[in-house]
Structure 1
Amino acid sequence: MHRVISVFLPTWPTDRLRRLPAGTAPPRDAALVLKGTEGRRRVVTAMDDLARSLGICLGMPVAKAQALVDDLLLLDADPVADRAALDDLALWGLRRYSPIVMADPPDGLVLDVTGATHRFGGEAGILADIIAHLADKGIKAEAALSETWAASHALARYQPETLTLIAPGKTNEALLSLPVEALRLPASTLDGLRVLGFDTIGELASQPRAPLTLRFGPELFRRIDMAFGRMSQPVAPIEPPEMILSRRAFFEPIGAADTMAKYTRRLVADLCDRLEDAGEGALQVDLRFYRVDNRVEAIQVRTAKPVRDEKRLGRLLCDRIETVDPGFGIERMVLAATLTGPLCPDQIHATFGNAQTPDVDDLWDTLTNRYGRNSRLYRSVASPSDIPERAVQKLPVHAKATGSSRNATFRRPFRLLRPPEAMQTMALLPDHPPVSFQWRGSRYRVTAADGPERVRGEWWRTDRETGKVRDYFILEVESGERFWAFRTGDGQNEDTGALRWYMHGKFA
């Protein structure tokens, strides 16, 4: 079952201008309006949220807008630049989210995310990630995910929520209450439907087709069929001219998994030759299968480092061919390197007596492409910090950092509590360990202790740690368990801490 996201950018023309380099971008504290022409009239074609809140709307005469708002910032609209920037944004989506992404002019994107949501923790995760990253870029966005492009397009623009997620099988029900404008019909058709009393898609879809088709033409119910999934509406992925890719068309459609795997390996071999000519390696490759019914199936794999190894890329792609639904047959395959990086020759055989570092990149690629980005695969290395919760950092498995030996000689528990948990103690100040303590509802009597080990705050990170200290103790209780606890403050100066005790870890 296909899952398609439509991203709506309600203020795209003005957002694009505000993202221009400093000195050329319009000021953010001014109401921004873009003007164009309709015949001989100058009208408003776009505005930002501030201008909208002041009463300006699309199609308003420019003279009226200027009279309505003092100090209005008025600029010429540039649809060509808007479209070029939208294509660049679609290419960003292609490299980050899905192998099938298309610009949806004038103010949207379409992403076929079938089989691609697991890398972001599911469908809700990918929707939230899209909105968050666009917000970081200074772009206001709303998005909807459903089973068809037309339905997602309508829901993104006519639902009040910023994020709309429709469960499989619920798309038709979600469309019924939307206005007929959501079907993207011509203005003359919409006027005629209003005259007849049709306000929602549900009212229109329940009517006999013949009389309405005779009056408004076949486009009316063609739009309805596309929204309800009765008619396919293919998404044509963006393919910039600089992208390295390989194609294969077939005289007769193919559908067997073995046949698709055979031609996948041939496409990989051709792609690797093209990458070698360019001096590049693939960091992400998309394999698209164009079916005879105008649907597109896709596979996307990523690698830890630039790669042009035929066997490695072929295995990663063929491992996921079982997820492809060939339908009534596949008539064309396209393999594209959507993300590349420079790849220099590397010595891999002669080590001259030195132990060769194990190559875990292949394992990382296999696990990440099988289980997604959230597979929690990482390396733990020591960090040069005295604060225990900062003494270990997580790095990608292909990172070359070896870690710090700063705290290698200190005794540390295998398990740290994040964050440290408050505990109640009986202890003498300033430097005695607790006699007993209560933690998580249980009381413990200390039979042996070691400490204190003083750790000072890292004042260069934040002013709040200036002068702060922690005194750590290893506490052994009657049951033989060993805990790692600390007290804030040195027991003498109030500025060093509040003299509170915390449990921070437990020894094996």
Structure 2
Amino acid sequence: MRRVVSLYLPNWPVDRLLRGLGEAAPPPDLPLILAGRSGRRRVVLAANQSALTQGTRIGMAATQAQALIPGLDVRDADPAGDDAALGRLAIWAMRRYAPVCQPDPPDGLAIDATGAAHLKGGEAAMLADMIERLEAEGVRADAAIGPTYGAAHAVVRFRGVCRVVGDNAVDAAIGGLPLAALRLPMELIANLNRMGFERIADVAHRPRAPLTLRFGHELGRRIDQAYGRLEEPLIPVEALEVPSVARVFGEPIGAPETLARHIAALVADLCGALEAAGLGVRRLDWLCFRVDNRIEAQRVSLARPTRDAPRLTRLLFDRIDKVDPGFGIERMTLSAVQAEPLHWRPGESALGEAGTPDLSDLVDILSNRIGPQRLYRLIPIENDVPERSVRKAPPLSVAPALDWSPDWPRPARLLKRPEPVETMALLPDNPPTHFTWRGVRRRVVRADGPERIFGEWRRRDAEVWAVRDYFQVEDEAGRRFWLFRAGDGEDGRTGSQAWFIHGLFG
């Protein structure tokens, strides 16, 4: 099922202006408007929050706004510059999130994220990442994703929250929204309101013929687009500097073996272009343009820059079964949306000594099948607290010089959170004689410890006195566990004195 994101930038012209001014930008509490021509009138085209709070409205005459707010900062609007910047933002989104991104002037982007959200940890995580990154740059944003652009566009602009609309939840998500959420002309909305139609649900399930006869075809078209009954194609933005190759077919194609043959040819052409530029590809977009104006897009990410044609071809072959050719594909493009200088890495030295094994091919195959966020290596961090002494890193990242201390072994598996156990031990330094975990009672036959670990006083006051005493214990079946007591066994300030299991050995 198709999944489309509507990225909404509610105050794009003002945010772009303030970001461009940098340190010279006026303070947020100073009312500011951007004024431009609408016919013969000079009207407010955008305003910051301070001006809106004090009574300014979009479309108001600029002179009226100046009379209403003393000291109002009035600047010239730049709609052409705003649209151009929106196109550059679409290129950024295309490189980071999904292959098909289209500017939706004046205040948004349309992003076809079908098959791409898992690369960012899922749909909700992808939307949160978009919003956080833009707001870090001073651009207010909100986003929604749904099976159609019409549904996502309506939800994000008229519900005001970041939402994920399910494939079968379009009616529940937009039915109660006003008719303006369907992107209808204002005159048509006014006519519908005069007839008593206020919400999308009022018209969405009525007989179509009387509505079309009275109000024209636009109402039905927007309803069908929102509910997925009519395709709304997106035109992807293109970055001119991106190495790209394309093939146009005289007759539409769709058979998997035909797709595979043309993929191999496109990869060979792209690798030739990359070699001429001294580049290797890190992110590859394969776009298939169907005869019904729909685009099937697949993205391949690589751990290291490469222009190895057999490897790229093999990775794209794995994606053929994810492409729905529909009634046929009339054009295919292959673009290196992220390319980097390629440095030669020899597999063997001149003396015949074996070099470091290259695992990047395996990493590429696994990450493109299961998602890059699920493939990682664990590296140590200089910290005594066990759950803070490790973090995830890319699988081919350079190993740090720091290593775990060999003085006290650590378990092969660390639980996500310590789990409480029922046990008995002689205080303050004796190991437990038995413990019950997840309903199973285990008798301890061997133990080593305690290893005392203190809290990090610089983080928070609660850790100033915090202590954990860790024990390695073995039960009668030979299974080994990592238990700790919260506290030193004597002073109540150091912890609750309760026992927990934190990991398993072997």
Q: What corresponds to 1:5 in structure 2?
A: 5
Q: How does 1:12-91 map to 2 (within 5 A)?
A: 12-20=12-20, 22-91=22-91
Distance in 2, Cα, partners of 1:344 & 1:85: 34
Partner-residue secondary structure (3-state), 1:82: helix
1:330 CA drift (Å): 1.1
CA–CA distance in 2 between the matches of 1:58 and 1:69? Answer: 14
Alignment of 1:370-389 (within 5 A): 370-374=369-373, 376-389=374-387
Contact 1:34/1:45 (8 A) holds in 2 = yes
Distance 1:125 1:273 in 2: 36
**SS of 2:42 mapped into structure 1:** strand
Instruction: Work out whether residues 431 and 450 of structure 2, in 8 Å CA contact, stay in contact via their aligned partners in 1.
Output: no
Distance 2:467 2:169 in 1: 57
**One-letter code of the match for 1:365?**
D
Which residue number in structure 2 is paired with residue 143 of structure 1?
Answer: 143
Tell me whether 29-38 or 216-225 shows the greater mean CA deviation: 216-225
What are the equivalent positions in structure 2 for 1:97-496 lying under 5 Å apart? 97-158=97-158, 160-171=159-170, 174-205=173-204, 213=212, 217-350=216-349, 352=351, 354-374=353-373, 376-401=374-399, 404-421=402-419, 426-429=425-428, 432-434=429-431, 436=433, 440=437, 449-455=447-453, 470-475=468-473, 482-486=480-484
Task: Tell me the secondary structure at the aligned position of residue 24 of structure 2.
Answer: coil
1:276 maps to amino acid = E
Which stretch of the first structure deviates more once superposed, 233-242 or 468-477?
A: 468-477
Could you tell me which runs of 5 or more consecutive residues in structure 2 were left unpaired when the two chains were aligned: none
The letter of the residue matching 2:43 is: V
Secondary structure class of the residue paired with 2:43: strand
C-alpha change, 1:176 and 1:266, in structure 2 (3 Å) is same
- Contact 2:347/2:356 (<8 A) preserved: no
Question: 110-119 or 282-291, which moves further after superposition?
Answer: 110-119
Alpha-carbon deviation of 1:306?
Answer: 1.0
Aligned CA distance change for structure 1 residues 117 and 28 (closer, same or farther; 3 Å): same
Shift of 1:492: 9.0
Report the Cα offset of residue 216 of structure 1: 5.2
Contact between 1:382 and 1:403, CA under 8 Å: does it hold in 2?
A: no
Residue by residue over 1:276-315, the C-alpha shift from the partner in whole angstroms, topping out at 9 and shown as x without a partner, is 2222211111111111111111111111111211111111
TM-score by length of structure 2 reads: 0.86
- The number of residue pairs the alignment matches comes to 503
What do residues 94-144 of structure 1 show as CA deviations (whole Å, max 9, x unaligned)? 122211111111001111122223334544443344334434443333333
Judge conservation of contact 2:346–2:355 (CA < 8 Å) in 1: no
Aligned-partner residue type, residue 412 of structure 2: F
Shift of 1:467: 8.0
Deviations 1:34-77 (A, max 9, x none): 22232343322112334333332211233433444455443322
* SS of equivalent residue, structure 2 residue 20: coil
Q: Determine if contact 1:386/1:407 at 8 Å carries over to the other structure.
A: no
Secondary structure of 1:401's counterpart equals coil
TM-score of the two chains, using structure 1 as the length reference: 0.86
Distance 2:482 2:226 in 1: 61
* 2:376 aligned partner, one-letter code: Y
Farther off after superposition, 271-280 or 281-290: 271-280
> Quick one: which amino acid aligns to residue 111 of structure 1?
I
2:162 counterpart letter in structure 1: L
Identify if the C-alpha distance between structure 1 residues 362 and 487 changes in structure 2 by more than 3 Å, giving closer, same or farther.
Answer: same
